[in-house]
Chains A and B, each alone.
Chain A
């Protein structure tokens, strides 16, 4: 009976652990604050703007026509988001190696991460080690001329499916 009693106590312990796990969960107010709306008409070509989403920096880089040509040539057009007639790079500005914020050089049209020397091109695809992959694209939904970060629109879902970006 001691073992049986122990088993009953064990059930209570497991239920308690479940409650404890839920207490650690992020609060509803935190989760609700996880959406940022961007007005895409406010950006200029090849001028990097850093927005904020869920406390993290988000790079928004409107592509100029020749940047779009570059992307088409490198077969990286699918990394860009098309809103209206324009293409934008929208990516989380944290190096996929160990999380520092890479700096953008508009003349070279590339990102350089000061921490360990990783580089990315104008679509934020990796061009030099050590980062394992291009900058991650946050979940987004196209809403007319606006982009809502945090919501998963069909275009984002396709990017994840095609392996262009990893879910964050």
Chain B
């Protein structure tokens, strides 16, 4: 039995048993963050808040949603939207947050790419982040099935058909995933299970892991400067806060984060109340009809760029291109052959590579939504080829990069 003395306060009592003081210092008051950062560094906190909004609104939707093919649509659009007090508000928050979270994810991801926050010790942060992106995508897809509207049904049909793997004709696999020949009760129920239990647990675990992989390498900064955190922390603790290059997570970083979050919430709730059709597409307000595909079918906006990479090619080539698009981002830390962990504007050609990628993905996104005809499909083809090309030349241009000495 370890020796315990009488504690003089509740705080001391808890500290003796679960070391809350150490936790407080390691995770908050002595978690050193560089001072030289901008509001983009707050996107992580914005994502945490948005995930929280999804979790809480999801809990209240879960009280009334019925995962049954005959009841699902009306349990959402009648019971929740018309009968439940504030049901409409939880639904709007959930739908808008599910869409906006991907906007923030992309901003967060591209901030990391721009500032080189995936290199030199931060590879696991990048990889765990990419795993979170994939898991969030699965979570969004499974959630979209639940209202059982026309888009739910046909997206379910199309995406599960991908697993037939083109000429491999893996129909057995497709049927196994669905639990039936077509998306039906078995399909709806298992995707309900994924959306409500399994994937959220995976996301929570990955978020914990993501934070864990960040702790030792520490947060990056706007100039990519290598900081001696011990030295700067000592300055800070000695009272020389202005000279120190670091700030503490709590309350320095947190207070700035909260301000960014509050601006985000104004924008977010404006969408929830006044401008939500982009997140709640009209096509999904038609109940699922297995005998009629809607004339215009498309995935949610955040999937459009990879959807477009699939479209211009023949079945097998398209599937390979699509598979390539899903995994290539994972390889970024290893395809980037330059020694520089610096912002893109200090990295010569990489700066242009970065903006080319951003613009190319926006073009792919737009073409993914437009009818695949005429000039749109032509632009889509070139944009898809550009995407593949950019990743091929990345190792080449980064190998050529001169080391930035500062």
Direct touch of chains A and B (CB < 8 A) = yes
Interface residues of A (CB under 8 A from B): 2, 5, 19-20, 22-25, 27-29
Contact A27 B63 (CB under 8 A): no
Given contacts A2-B251, A2-B255, contact A23 B79 (CB under 8 A): no
Given contacts A5-B258, A20-B60, contact A27 B86 (CB under 8 A): no
Does B90 belong to the interface (CB within 8 Å)?
Answer: yes
Which residues on A sit within 8 Å (CB–CB) of B60? 20, 23
Q: Which 3 pairs of residues, A with B, have the shortest CB-CB distance?
A: A22-B85, A19-B86, A27-B83
Which residues on A sit within 8 Å (CB–CB) of B79? 27
What residue of chain B has the Cβ atom nearest to residue A30's Cβ? B83
Which residues on B sit within 8 Å (CB–CB) of A25? 85
Which residues on B sit within 8 Å (CB–CB) of A24? 63
Q: Which of B82-118 contact A (CB under 8 A)?
A: 83-87, 89-90
How many angstroms between the C-alpha atoms of A20 and B60 in the bound complex? 8
Contact B255 A23 (CB under 8 A): no
Q: How far is the CB of A7 from chain B (nearest CB, A)?
A: 14
Which residues on A sit within 8 Å (CB–CB) of B83? 27-29
Contact A23 B251 (CB under 8 A): no
Interface of A is mostly: helix
What residue of chain A has the Cβ atom nearest to residue B254's Cβ? A2
Which residues on B sit within 8 Å (CB–CB) of A23? 60, 63, 84-87, 90
Which residues on B sit within 8 Å (CB–CB) of A2? 251, 255
Which residues on A sit within 8 Å (CB–CB) of B63? 23-24
Q: How far is the CB of B219 from chain A (nearest CB, A)?
A: 22
Q: How far is the CB of B52 from chain A (nearest CB, A)?
A: 11
Q: 23 A-B contacts, Cβ less than 8 Å apart?
A: A2-B251, A2-B255, A5-B258, A19-B85, A19-B86, A19-B89, A20-B60, A22-B85, A22-B86, A23-B60, A23-B63, A23-B84, A23-B85, A23-B86, A23-B87, A23-B90, A24-B63, A25-B85, A27-B79, A27-B83, A27-B84, A28-B83, A29-B83
How many angstroms between the C-alpha atoms of A28 and B84 in the bound complex? 8
Q: How far is the CB of B253 from chain A (nearest CB, A)?
A: 14
How many angstroms between the C-alpha atoms of A74 and B239 in the bound complex? 86
Q: How far is the CB of B328 from chain A (nearest CB, A)?
A: 41
What residue of chain A has the Cβ atom nearest to residue B258's Cβ? A5
Q: Which of B40-94 contact A (CB under 8 A)?
A: 60, 63, 79, 83-87, 89-90
Q: How far is the CB of B69 from chain A (nearest CB, A)?
A: 22
How many angstroms between the C-alpha atoms of A27 and B75 in the bound complex? 12
How many angstroms between the C-alpha atoms of A33 and B203 in the bound complex? 42
What residue of chain B has the Cβ atom nearest to residue A9's Cβ? B258
What residue of chain A has the Cβ atom nearest to residue B78's Cβ? A29
Which residues on B sit within 8 Å (CB–CB) of A28? 83
Which residues on B sit within 8 Å (CB–CB) of A27? 79, 83-84
